[in-house]
Structure 1
């Protein structure tokens, strides 16, 4: 069995535990364990051996709620979105000192790495090409999702559907892709991350599949 191991590095995180800064309940080890347990390694990056550190900055209010999260430095692939999702999941898990300035931003570097996954032979050039491919796919994916959004509203032309079906085939939006996307969405629901799950479920819907409709009705109101 091929297994992927995800290691979360908290480089520089110790500075967060100084006075007047919010601290994750249980400390740095608890944060590390939390992120590790919640990580769902994104499909494109896993399949293309893309690894690296994503720096996410965010703010914490007096109630320990996370807001204003954004990627400060990423790779421009789906790892960025997963790192951002993980930090948002820490909502309400922070202890906040009374004199904390809510305008200050914390930065957590989240490191994604794959072990025993056949990635050792991948060159830096191959990985960079994969990153460029991901970014090029974004516009094509948008063309597909826009078509099905318009179709739902009765504004899509049937004569264009053959082109969209060809585009879906080129993008690999097949039954296996949809099944994996649905599996990840179900994991997010179990984690209590309905926002992340609904994003994935609606993506499935708007690439022309109805397999997510029941979960959308149950979780995405």
Structure 2
């Protein structure tokens, strides 16, 4: 095994991504105990990157650390995923309300410019680039709340839902719908309309939840 301190974070990210995919697709079922030693043997690494990978999975709510039992894969049924999206909707709606009220002119302009760029990406079928820009779009809204604790809450929820939203923006229909929803969000924030920003973000998360849950049928 040869994982230096310099390479450990990269290895941990790669291990976490592989385990995440296997948990989401059901290859690793809920209730399974993840052993550091066996994972290290599988990937040919020491326990250091394995521990970091498990930490990343815990931050995404895919595993739980249970006293005297170890790291256990979470039960990811529809009810649990609905709870996550419900919490995310409340958090993003709150960010939207504050952003509509507190964003500077420059911040509103940056959000509007990014939205225009994303529309171009969608029109050209550049879905991977759109997905990356989508993360930036939401983080601009979080930052626009100008409240460090709310931003931290939103970032934590984004991490938890990231595994379930990862495949949503890979086809034209959903990307087109996302663009329309973003248009309503941007318009509300630029117009300083707190109520409309709240509603637009709730509807946006509802669309994401429906897309995710439909794949579980």
Give the structure-1-normalised TM-score. 0.24
Give the structure-2-normalised TM-score. 0.24
More helix by share: 2
More strand by share: 1
